[in-house]
Structure 1
């Protein structure tokens, strides 16, 4: 289980004295625990991936803001955090793999126009969660459906 792997990595980082990595892993565990407490459930791997995906997106937004403000020191901290978090995400999909998945989802959902975008995204989300930026996926679907 992914959550167990993160906990094991936290222990290893403690033993190795890797303070920066340990801090990021603690942030990950806190986000997972927060969602578990809020929803009163035990997160499975897919839900943990969703939490990690959200964390990466937040940090990418922060990096863009820090870069535009000229705060390279803070942007570097965020980049380090993204690197640690991405280590737990599956390998990213290539453009051709993503296009093939979009095409298959359009066929599976029976979509033919823009109003069917929700159906297509519903089919795609579990397949690409944590492996592609959902904004880019949405843009591909929109382009495919002629929007």
Structure 2
């Protein structure tokens, strides 16, 4: 089942349950996917493209949460936390820290990377392997630690 099919199914369920908050988040994600589809001139997006959009939406919410929390806006923070929880249901299972370290180490060995000069080369190979399964900033920190 594609992400769009799952979203449609969950949207119907949210309507039946009269869950306006969940419905709102699902509609927002669907709109983002449809906008990207129109922008790219495609009828259907690939699973990878859908995952990219979902990751972008999740990242935006996490950044907003940080801003609202630092500004003391607990009312808005709570709403964004809810949106994050809904979005995370559609994300693939996240890699553990150990798995992430293992992927980075293996990539460094394969690329024969020895210093921070090879950072771009390593990141270029690690990001496609971890896309949607790990936070990019976390991957960046691990690569930096391993290359120092």
Question: TM-score normalised to the size of structure 2?
Answer: 0.92
Find the counterpart in structure 2 of residue 71 from structure 1: 73
Which of 127, 130, 138 aligns to 1:128? It is 130
CA distance in structure 1 between the partners assigned to 2:106 and 2:23 by the alignment: 40
1:62-84 per-position Cα deviation (integer Å, ceiling 9, x unaligned): 11111111110100000000000
Which consecutive residues of structure 1, in runs of 5 or more, have no partner in the other structure?
Answer: none
81-90 or 50-59, which deviates more: 50-59
110-119 or 15-24, which deviates more: 110-119
CA distance in structure 1 between the partners assigned to 2:12 and 2:112 by the alignment: 48
Which of 20, 35, 49 aligns to 1:47? It is 49
Find the counterpart in structure 2 of residue 15 from structure 1: 16
Q: How many residues align?
A: 146
Runs of 4+ aligned structure 1 residues displaced above 4 Å come to: none
1:111-138 per-position Cα deviation (integer Å, ceiling 9, x unaligned): 2222222221121112211121101101
Q: Is the 8 A contact 1:101 1:124 kept in 2?
A: yes
Report the CA distance between 1:97 and its aligned residue: 0.8
CA distance in structure 2 between the partners assigned to 1:36 and 1:25 by the alignment: 16
Question: TM-score normalised to the size of structure 1?
Answer: 0.93
CA distance in structure 2 between the partners assigned to 1:11 and 1:107 by the alignment: 48
Which of 83, 86, 92 aligns to 1:84? It is 86
